[in-house]
Structure 1
Amino acid sequence: MRPRPPRSPYRTPLLALMLLAGLCAGALAAWPALERHFLTRAAVRDEATLRLVTEVLRGALGRTEALPALIAERPILARVLRNPDATGLIPFANEQLRLTALSLDVSDVYLMDREGTTLAASSYRSERSFVGENFAYRPYFTDAIGTGVGRFHALGTTSGERGYYFAAPVLDGTEILGAVAVKITLDRFEDAWAQSDSTVAVYDTANVIFLSDRADWRFRSIGPVSELAVERIAATRQYPLTAVSALPLRREALAGGLTRATLETPEGRESFVLQEGLIAAAGWRIAVLTPAGPATAQAAATLGLGGLIVALGALVAAFFGQRRARLLERLEAQRSQHALLESRVRDRTRDLDDANRRLRAEVEDRRAAEERLRRTQAELVQAGKLAALGQMSAALSHEFNQPLGAVKSYAENAMTFLDRGRTAEARDNVGRISRMADRMATISQHLRNFARRPKDHVGPVPLRAVVEDAVEIMQARLNRSGVSLRGPDWPNAPVWAMGGRVRLQQVLVNLLANALDAMDDDPAPVIEMALEDHGDTLALRVRDFGPGLGDADLPQIFDPFFTTKDPGRGLGLGLSISYNIVRDFGGTLTAGNAEGGGAIFTVTLRRAAPQTQETAAE
Structure 2
Amino acid sequence: MWAWAAAGALYLGAAAAAVEFAWDRAIDALAQVGAHRLDLYAASLKSELGRFEMMPAIVARQDSVRALLRAGSRASPELLHDVNTYLEAVSDDAGSLAVDVIDLQGEVIAASNWNQSFSFVGTNVSYRPYFKDALVHGTGRFFGIGTNTGMPGLYFASAVRDAGKPIGAAAVKLSVDALEAAWRTPGEAAMVIDSNGVIVISTVPAWKFTAFRPITAQQQRDIQASRQYAGRNVDALPYRRVGEWNGTAWLGRFPDWRRAGHTTQFLVMSRTAPQAGDSITVLLDVATARRQQQIALAFVTGAFLIAGLYALYAAQRRRTIAEKLKAQDALRLANDRLEMTVAQRTAALVETNERMKQEIVERKRTEQRLRDSQQEVVHAGKLAVLGQMAAGLTHELNQPLVAIRTLCDNARTFFERNQPEQAVANLERVAKLVDSMAVLTGELKTFARKPDVERVAVSLSEAVAHARLIYEARIRDEGVQLDVKIPAGTTVWAESSQLQQVIVNLLGNALDAVRNEPKRVITIAAADPDARERVLFTIADSGPGIAPDVLAHLFEPFVTTKPRGHGLGLGLAISSRIVEGFGAKISAANLADSGADGGAQFTIEFAAATSQRVVHGR
Q: TM-score, normalised by structure 1?
A: 0.47
